[in-house]
Structure 1
Amino acid sequence: MKKAVKFKAYLVALITCIIGFQFSPASNQFYANPFYIGGFIFAIVLIVNVINYFCPKCKKNQVMQSATSYRLPTNKCYHCGEEIN
Protein backbone atom coordinates (compact mmCIF):
# COMPACT_ATOMS: atom_id res chain seq x y z
CA MET A 1 0.00 0.00 0.00
CA LYS A 2 1.36 3.41 -0.91
CA LYS A 3 2.34 5.76 1.85
CA ALA A 4 -0.26 8.43 0.95
CA VAL A 5 -3.09 5.88 0.84
CA LYS A 6 -2.03 4.41 4.19
CA PHE A 7 -1.98 7.90 5.72
CA LYS A 8 -5.51 8.61 4.46
CA ALA A 9 -6.73 5.22 5.73
CA TYR A 10 -5.40 6.00 9.23
CA LEU A 11 -7.11 9.40 9.08
CA VAL A 12 -10.45 7.82 8.13
CA ALA A 13 -10.06 5.27 10.94
CA LEU A 14 -9.40 8.08 13.44
CA ILE A 15 -12.47 10.00 12.28
CA THR A 16 -14.55 6.80 12.54
CA CYS A 17 -13.33 6.24 16.11
CA ILE A 18 -14.18 9.83 17.07
CA ILE A 19 -17.68 9.57 15.62
CA GLY A 20 -18.20 6.15 17.21
CA PHE A 21 -17.15 7.48 20.60
CA GLN A 22 -19.61 10.36 20.31
CA PHE A 23 -22.49 7.93 19.73
CA SER A 24 -21.52 5.44 22.44
CA PRO A 25 -23.43 5.62 25.74
CA ALA A 26 -21.82 7.55 28.58
CA SER A 27 -20.49 5.49 31.48
CA ASN A 28 -18.02 5.75 34.32
CA GLN A 29 -15.48 3.60 32.49
CA PHE A 30 -15.30 5.51 29.21
CA TYR A 31 -11.56 4.79 28.97
CA ALA A 32 -12.40 1.09 28.40
CA ASN A 33 -14.47 2.00 25.33
CA PRO A 34 -12.89 0.52 22.16
CA PHE A 35 -13.55 3.74 20.23
CA TYR A 36 -11.66 5.71 22.90
CA ILE A 37 -8.69 3.33 22.80
CA GLY A 38 -8.71 3.19 18.99
CA GLY A 39 -8.85 6.98 18.80
CA PHE A 40 -5.72 7.29 20.91
CA ILE A 41 -3.86 4.64 18.94
CA PHE A 42 -4.73 6.13 15.53
CA ALA A 43 -3.93 9.66 16.77
CA ILE A 44 -0.46 8.57 17.88
CA VAL A 45 0.13 6.72 14.59
CA LEU A 46 -0.94 9.79 12.60
CA ILE A 47 1.34 12.10 14.60
CA VAL A 48 4.30 9.80 13.94
CA ASN A 49 3.39 9.62 10.23
CA VAL A 50 3.09 13.41 9.95
CA ILE A 51 6.54 13.86 11.46
CA ASN A 52 8.15 11.17 9.28
CA TYR A 53 6.43 11.92 5.94
CA PHE A 54 9.12 13.67 3.91
CA CYS A 55 10.48 13.57 0.38
CA PRO A 56 13.59 11.38 0.04
CA LYS A 57 15.10 13.77 -2.51
CA CYS A 58 14.54 17.28 -1.11
CA LYS A 59 13.87 16.24 2.54
CA LYS A 60 10.81 18.52 2.87
CA ASN A 61 7.81 17.44 4.92
CA GLN A 62 4.77 16.62 2.76
CA VAL A 63 2.05 17.12 5.40
CA MET A 64 3.18 20.06 7.55
CA GLN A 65 4.14 23.22 5.72
CA SER A 66 4.21 25.31 8.89
CA ALA A 67 2.69 25.23 12.36
CA THR A 68 -0.71 26.31 10.99
CA SER A 69 -0.63 24.92 7.44
CA TYR A 70 -1.26 21.23 6.70
CA ARG A 71 -2.27 19.25 3.60
CA LEU A 72 -3.07 15.69 2.63
CA PRO A 73 -0.10 13.88 1.08
CA THR A 74 0.01 12.57 -2.47
CA ASN A 75 2.35 10.17 -4.27
CA LYS A 76 4.45 13.04 -5.67
CA CYS A 77 6.44 15.62 -3.78
CA TYR A 78 4.82 19.05 -3.64
CA HIS A 79 8.19 20.81 -3.96
CA CYS A 80 10.33 18.85 -6.40
CA GLY A 81 7.89 16.39 -8.07
CA GLU A 82 9.81 13.26 -6.98
CA GLU A 83 7.75 10.05 -6.67
CA ILE A 84 7.28 9.02 -3.02
CA ASN A 85 6.72 5.31 -2.42
Structure 2
Amino acid sequence: MAIDLGTKYQISQAVKGNFNSAESLTVTSNDGSIVQFTLGEGKGRGAMPIQHLDYLLKRSNLTILPNKRSLITPDHNEEQIG
Protein backbone atom coordinates (compact mmCIF):
# COMPACT_ATOMS: atom_id res chain seq x y z
CA MET A 1 0.00 0.00 0.00
CA ALA A 2 1.37 3.38 -0.98
CA ILE A 3 1.52 5.93 1.81
CA ASP A 4 1.45 9.35 0.20
CA LEU A 5 2.38 12.68 1.74
CA GLY A 6 -0.66 14.53 3.00
CA THR A 7 -2.71 11.36 3.56
CA LYS A 8 -4.98 11.85 6.56
CA TYR A 9 -6.08 9.04 8.86
CA GLN A 10 -8.79 8.97 11.52
CA ILE A 11 -7.62 7.47 14.82
CA SER A 12 -9.96 4.96 16.48
CA GLN A 13 -11.11 5.34 20.09
CA ALA A 14 -9.11 2.22 21.02
CA VAL A 15 -5.73 3.87 20.36
CA LYS A 16 -6.41 7.61 20.82
CA GLY A 17 -4.60 7.49 24.15
CA ASN A 18 -1.42 6.54 22.28
CA PHE A 19 -1.77 9.64 20.08
CA ASN A 20 -2.39 12.38 22.69
CA SER A 21 -6.17 11.88 22.24
CA ALA A 22 -5.97 13.36 18.72
CA GLU A 23 -8.78 12.66 16.25
CA SER A 24 -6.50 12.31 13.21
CA LEU A 25 -2.95 12.14 11.92
CA THR A 26 -1.53 13.41 8.64
CA VAL A 27 1.55 11.97 6.92
CA THR A 28 4.27 14.59 6.43
CA SER A 29 7.19 12.41 5.33
CA ASN A 30 7.77 8.86 4.11
CA ASP A 31 11.29 7.66 3.40
CA GLY A 32 10.26 4.08 2.68
CA SER A 33 10.88 2.71 6.15
CA ILE A 34 9.77 5.48 8.53
CA VAL A 35 6.61 7.61 8.34
CA GLN A 36 6.53 11.01 10.00
CA PHE A 37 3.18 12.59 10.87
CA THR A 38 1.43 15.45 12.61
CA LEU A 39 -1.51 14.94 14.91
CA GLY A 40 -4.78 16.78 14.44
CA GLU A 41 -5.88 19.63 16.67
CA GLY A 42 -2.23 20.67 17.08
CA LYS A 43 -1.59 17.83 19.53
CA GLY A 44 1.91 17.06 18.36
CA ARG A 45 3.90 15.07 15.86
CA GLY A 46 5.67 11.76 15.68
CA ALA A 47 7.15 8.98 13.59
CA MET A 48 6.73 5.24 13.31
CA PRO A 49 8.03 2.41 11.17
CA ILE A 50 5.94 1.86 8.06
CA GLN A 51 5.28 -1.73 9.20
CA HIS A 52 3.59 -0.41 12.34
CA LEU A 53 1.39 1.93 10.32
CA ASP A 54 0.38 -1.04 8.14
CA TYR A 55 -0.42 -3.00 11.32
CA LEU A 56 -2.64 -0.18 12.65
CA LEU A 57 -4.44 -0.02 9.30
CA LYS A 58 -5.03 -3.79 9.23
CA ARG A 59 -6.48 -3.70 12.75
CA SER A 60 -8.70 -0.73 11.80
CA ASN A 61 -7.06 1.44 14.45
CA LEU A 62 -6.45 3.95 11.66
CA THR A 63 -8.81 4.54 8.76
CA ILE A 64 -8.00 6.67 5.76
CA LEU A 65 -10.00 9.86 5.40
CA PRO A 66 -10.80 10.73 1.79
CA ASN A 67 -9.51 14.10 0.69
CA LYS A 68 -12.15 16.60 -0.31
CA ARG A 69 -11.06 16.66 -3.94
CA SER A 70 -11.82 12.94 -4.31
CA LEU A 71 -15.38 13.55 -3.12
CA ILE A 72 -16.10 15.77 -6.13
CA THR A 73 -17.71 13.90 -8.97
CA PRO A 74 -15.62 13.54 -12.13
CA ASP A 75 -18.01 15.65 -14.23
CA HIS A 76 -16.93 18.83 -12.40
CA ASN A 77 -14.04 20.67 -13.92
CA GLU A 78 -11.34 22.67 -12.12
CA GLU A 79 -13.11 25.99 -12.68
CA GLN A 80 -16.11 24.82 -10.67
CA ILE A 81 -14.07 23.72 -7.65
CA GLY A 82 -14.12 26.49 -5.11
Output the TM-score relative to the length of structure 1. Answer: 0.26
Output the TM-score relative to the length of structure 2. Answer: 0.27
